[in-house]
Amino acid sequence: MILIRHSVFCWVLFAFPGNCIQGSEKAVTFQFMKWRLFLFPEATTMIGEQLDIQGKLEPVERRLATLKKHLEQADIYFKYKGKKPLTEAEQILLTAAKDYLKGVMNGKTTIPTKTWKEEYTKLTAERKTLNQRYLALKEEVKEAEKIRKSVYSILRQEQQPHRKQDMER
């Protein structure tokens, strides 16, 4: 769509090839906004898509937190596992890490730190993609809301003179 000032009091809106509207700036702007809303019908579904993305982000965030805890405990375990003269604090940390990993491992004998790191990297990338899409949608929703408010404002302005005329009669 292209909005061109044709003369002092006339504006032209070229919406589609062969389809244009001439009139006052207010009328052409109003038509532009109507067409913008018509061409942008998915505006109402964008909020739903935002909610879907939030729903997808929640389990990713929870899993990332869990993996972070697993990796921290594995790091503590490997840091103090081979060290012989342990202080009391180090011994407590090693025992806590060993107990935590024992509960997480479900009977497995090796700690899958490589698998956890790969999953953490994959989920971090997925979270980044989802966040980017969410923020883009947020901006689109904000823009659509501005357009909607402008259309309603113009509609109210155009209806007010009619009400005043009706009241004078």
CA nearest to 43, candidates 133, 115, 129, 148: 148
Q: How far apart are CA 61 and CA 54, in angstroms?
A: 10
Q: How far apart are CA 94 and CA 85, in angstroms?
A: 12
pLDDT on residue 3: 44
pLDDT on residue 1: 43
pLDDT profile of the chain (169 residues), mean per 10: 40 42 54 54 72 92 97 96 91 95 89 96 97 90 77 70 56
Find the DSSP H helices in the chain: 25-39, 43-81, 88-105, 113-168
81 φ/ψ angles, rounded to the nearest 5 degrees: -60, -50
Position 98, amino acid: K
Cα distances from 16 to residues 5, 6, 7, 151, in angstroms, run 17, 17, 21, 21
pLDDT on residue 45: 76
pLDDT on residue 18: 43
Q: What is the pTM of this model?
A: 0.64
